[in-house]
Amino acid sequence: MTTAKREDGIVGSSVTRAGIVTGGASGIGRAISRRLAADGHAVAIFDRDGIAAAECAAEITRAGGRATAHQLDVTQRAELQAGTDAAIAAHGPLWFLVNAAGWDRPTPFLDSDPALWARIVDINLYGPLNTHHIVCRHMREQGGGRVVNIASDAGRTGAGNVAVYSACKGGMIALTRSLAREFARWNILLNTISPGPTDTPLLASFGDTEGLARQIPLRRLGRPEDFAGITAFLIGDDAGYITGQTLSVSGGLTMV
Ligand X SMILES: NC(=O)c1ccc[n+]([C@@H]2O[C@H](COP(=O)([O-])OP(=O)(O)OC[C@H]3O[C@@H](n4cnc5c(N)ncnc54)[C@H](O)[C@@H]3O)[C@@H](O)[C@H]2O)c1
Q: Which residues are catalytic?
A: 165
Minimum gap (Å) between residue 143 Cβ and ligand X? 28
Q: Which CB, 55 or 187, lies closer to ligand X? A: 55
Phi, psi of 202 (to 5 degrees): -65, -50
Q: CA 104, CA 95: separation in Å to the nearest integer?
A: 29
Contact residues: ligand X, CB under 6 A: 22-23, 25-29, 47-49, 52, 73-75, 100-103, 123, 127, 150, 152, 195, 197-198, 200-203
Minimum gap (Å) between residue 172 Cβ and ligand X? 8
Minimum gap (Å) between residue 207 Cβ and ligand X? 13
